[in-house]
Structure 1
């Protein structure tokens, strides 16, 4: 009887997050399936025609193959460039080591539209580097528009920090005692790497590579601007079929192909994460500060020069574009210092180019961000509480079929891209009262994007709580709910705050779903930046982007102050 009561209470707690996912994620996604297989067409029960049509279209095949190729090439180049940096940061002490580590994190936490803006300001037409190189040699260093090289370089800029930061944790987590024993037995460095280090590094290398692949494969803003009609990811292609051709069935069919690839990659990532227990930052810190493994000083001049040149090269790729955003925001067309770009954001005439005054876009971004802060962490908290309500005698959550199924449900939103998410919401709710207030739909879409991250942060925070405290409280007669409010909730508070701030940062920088769904009156800062870039108003776009950099970096600085939480995407 008690077991049934506990199961009923679990179901009551879970009804809100599960219902939210059911109505705003699974039902819309099922509708996309129906569109892809012609089920919604009059007189058709089931057909493979939409899927076969898009697969046999030469352009679609070309873009699909190119999308996979550029994602693989980006991943390979990021590994090639990033692994030496992660090794250096993990094994050597040198001036500004922590500063370099923090600077390398910034590109990844920035919204893709800001990454694009920084890349254009440094390597675009009329940029400082291209102008300097043209004066020196008579031609541009690189043409980033409508070129494969420009897109891949932009993706490398965005994804190198993923490789460096994640694999650095892997290097620091390699068991130093095994290496010490191998060296005492006169094993060569190559044999130590092959037999000891690489087997321990492989899971985290695989996971980091899969993340870079999925980010590059689903790239939208970067390819939308730089690719033109010559290069398109499936994400851009779906958007094109929907808004330019109004071919919903073909767009849905392409979505199915993308969803299949995304699901395969995400579950491979989770396989490596869970089966091989990828190390956390906290565990790596403990090992780094152990007796057997401490970073050593750079001893030789040659090694010092190599490290300096390496981080100078990485800095040009990763840090210079961020500096370029601020530089372009204070620079006029003749490369003179100016505040005109910022003053234009206060001028109503700029709305001619972006459809809405900038202050209204800022207000929309903050409004949507506030909505996501209020919803995503609460849904994640309810889900974690419900899934962990029933515990064993040792205080561990009971592994039930329902709990395992719910865990899979939570992971699935990670497999869906922002454009697919927006497409699914639009296709099912466009003729309903839900869609009458587009702001609510945008908040729902952004919440679905932020929710898996918020859930992982809170789940990781909860895993660090000593369950003995809760068990003692329960043995003294405190109810499960009472133990939650008096013990768990205060201990979870840092994780909840971080989940909220992380959700806010995702919301305020989200571009794909918001651009797909937003009407003129509900455009946000990223949409405004895109419209300014599209109309070649680079200075005001840089000024707008610098504001987004300050907000995003500020959010993550607060996260660092609140406290680090070990979580993985």
Structure 2
């Protein structure tokens, strides 16, 4: 068996075994049909589809003008707008929830100005999803606009085309696949949203992801939870197939076309910047300010490391656990992903790898956590091992995406020459591959580390806090127990750590 297929099979086994165990023991077609047409299931489906669709529409609308600005400018504002792309992938959900509560809650900043409270409503869910996912539209649309060669537009103008015809015949065909792909990504991320819906919307607006968790927590009914998971998985599988249909145009250009934006595009981009980064800055600096008493304080940070609070909430231990598991899993993920990509030899290998790896992005995190929890109950596998498996499953597709272009474009003729001189596989990697790909590999390691560091759904669904506490779970528990200062301080620390890691990885990528 070729090495490529061996490691692909290992990866597939990681998620097929826990999910297969559930299906073998709990799947019943009669139960599926019975639950499928129940009013509660249809209500969950309705709200899941509604909030996902509205999130796509609102995200697209608010991202459109910032996308135009980023595409046509190269200044500090455009760079800050473009860097908002880190939010959907690296900004932790719990600090986001805390920041939204501080800004839009009953005693929040906005409510004090216009006396409005949007928490625990559909508006709160859509607004939070738009904050999270609109940067995906900004990135995809602006990149597509930047890919339009200058001579395309200039030739059209010489031929007498007006702005509408240029947009219809040149710009739209190029940016439409990017819009569709971004739309499907935003829909998928909103569809599987867990922490945002659970905390800002409540049970009334349950999605399948939330329903899986609440079913397990209330009754440990694996059969019912599995039915919800299967329904979600089928929908996501269809969505993932649709995602692969539109092809984004990739053109090598010497000079891109730019045009001057009007004042409305500039002003709207400023408001969009305020909307996105107000949440980021509120989450970052909330630990330094007591919003109830309106004063700056470091009390929250001091209390975080006190013996009194740590006797009930193992904060220090959670830091150790989170850093340890994030480091180990990130190393394993980068290694496994690199081996898979390194052994791709032809177009057939690319197709098989893409289907095997990328398709796992359609697996619900709550569904996966349910399968891992079942392994713990049946076989007493330690929580830290199961959590590591879960993080590997959700991280490998992202690492695969981050590394794919760089590794597959590597000049392997260098390695062939070294092999003739007698170099073995280890020496090839140490003396040739790693020095050339070092920045990329370290950058992806840091990106995966940041993602795992802030992950919430898997660990919370598995209720791992009593067995292997992690920062995201501890933060959520502190907030629920009304330790607001401490929760805000922990959120600030989490954001600062992840933001620093993201910027280091971003710098390393630019150095390539």
Aligned partners of 1:542, 1:259: CA distance in 2, in Å? 35
Aligned partners of 1:331, 1:477: CA distance in 2, in Å? 62
Output one character per residue of 1:259-302: Cα deviation in whole Å (capped at 9) or x when no partner. 11111112222232xxx2444xxx6xx74xx4452x4566xxxx
Matched residue, 1:45: none
Output one character per residue of 1:348-381: Cα deviation in whole Å (capped at 9) or x when no partner. 33357xx423111111111111121221111112
SS of residue paired to 1:96: helix
Aligned partners of 1:188, 1:251: CA distance in 2, in Å? 56
Pick from 503, 510, 513 the counterpart of residue 458 of structure 2: 513
| 8 Å Cα contact 1:439/1:522 also seen in 2 | yes
Pick from 474, 499, 506 the counterpart of residue 553 of structure 1: 499
Matched residue, 2:211: 237
Matched residue, 2:323: 366
- Residue 132 (1) aligns with residue 110 (2): no
- Residue 270 (1) aligns with residue 244 (2): yes
Pick from 53, 57, 62 the counterpart of residue 81 of structure 1: 62
> Relative to 1, partners in 2 of residues 1:31 and 1:92: Cα closer, same or farther, differing over 3 Å?
same
Structure 1 segment 312-461 matched on structure 2, within 5 A: 312-332=270-290, 333-351=292-310, 355-386=312-343, 388=344, 397-400=345-348, 404-433=351-380, 435=381, 437-461=382-406
Output one character per residue of 1:307-359: Cα deviation in whole Å (capped at 9) or x when no partner. 4421232133211011212343222212122111222212333357xx42311
| Cα displacement (A) at 1:233 | 0.9
| Cα displacement (A) at 1:466 | 2.3
> Relative to 1, partners in 2 of residues 1:292 and 1:379: Cα closer, same or farther, differing over 3 Å?
closer
| Cα displacement (A) at 1:90 | 0.5
Matched residue, 2:432: 487
Aligned partners of 1:515, 1:32: CA distance in 2, in Å? 19
Aligned partners of 1:410, 1:87: CA distance in 2, in Å? 33
| Cα displacement (A) at 1:104 | 5.8
| Cα displacement (A) at 1:429 | 4.2
Matched residue, 1:170: 144
Structure 1 unaligned blocks of 5 or more: 1-7, 39-47, 135-139, 389-396
Structure 1 segment 302-321 matched on structure 2, within 5 A: 303-304=262-263, 306-321=264-279
> Relative to 1, partners in 2 of residues 1:399 and 1:96: Cα closer, same or farther, differing over 3 Å?
closer
| 8 Å Cα contact 1:259/1:415 also seen in 2 | yes
> Relative to 1, partners in 2 of residues 1:249 and 1:278: Cα closer, same or farther, differing over 3 Å?
farther
How many pairs were matched up?
A: 510
| 8 Å Cα contact 2:365/2:458 also seen in 1 | yes
- Residue 18 (1) aligns with residue 9 (2): yes
Aligned partners of 1:349, 1:127: CA distance in 2, in Å? 29
Aligned partners of 2:511, 2:42: CA distance in 1, in Å? 42
> Relative to 1, partners in 2 of residues 1:291 and 1:15: Cα closer, same or farther, differing over 3 Å?
closer
Aligned partners of 2:389, 2:423: CA distance in 1, in Å? 36
Output one character per residue of 1:375-416: Cα deviation in whole Å (capped at 9) or x when no partner. 111111222233x2xxxxxxxx2345x774444222232111
Output one character per residue of 1:526-562: Cα deviation in whole Å (capped at 9) or x when no partner. 1122112223333322211111111111111111221
Normalised to the residue count of structure 1, the TM-score between the two structures is 0.84
Pick from 489, 493, 496 the counterpart of residue 543 of structure 1: 489
Aligned partners of 2:217, 2:166: CA distance in 1, in Å? 55
> Relative to 1, partners in 2 of residues 1:292 and 1:497: Cα closer, same or farther, differing over 3 Å?
closer
> Relative to 1, partners in 2 of residues 1:539 and 1:133: Cα closer, same or farther, differing over 3 Å?
farther
SS of residue paired to 2:295: coil
| 8 Å Cα contact 1:223/1:236 also seen in 2 | yes
> Relative to 1, partners in 2 of residues 1:106 and 1:243: Cα closer, same or farther, differing over 3 Å?
closer
| Cα displacement (A) at 1:564 | 4.1
Aligned partners of 1:278, 1:124: CA distance in 2, in Å? 42
Normalised to the residue count of structure 2, the TM-score between the two structures is 0.92
Aligned partners of 2:424, 2:304: CA distance in 1, in Å? 55
| 8 Å Cα contact 2:8/2:353 also seen in 1 | no
Aligned partners of 2:374, 2:274: CA distance in 1, in Å? 43
| 8 Å Cα contact 1:219/1:235 also seen in 2 | yes
> Relative to 1, partners in 2 of residues 1:105 and 1:383: Cα closer, same or farther, differing over 3 Å?
closer
| Cα displacement (A) at 1:469 | 2.9
Aligned partners of 2:357, 2:164: CA distance in 1, in Å? 42
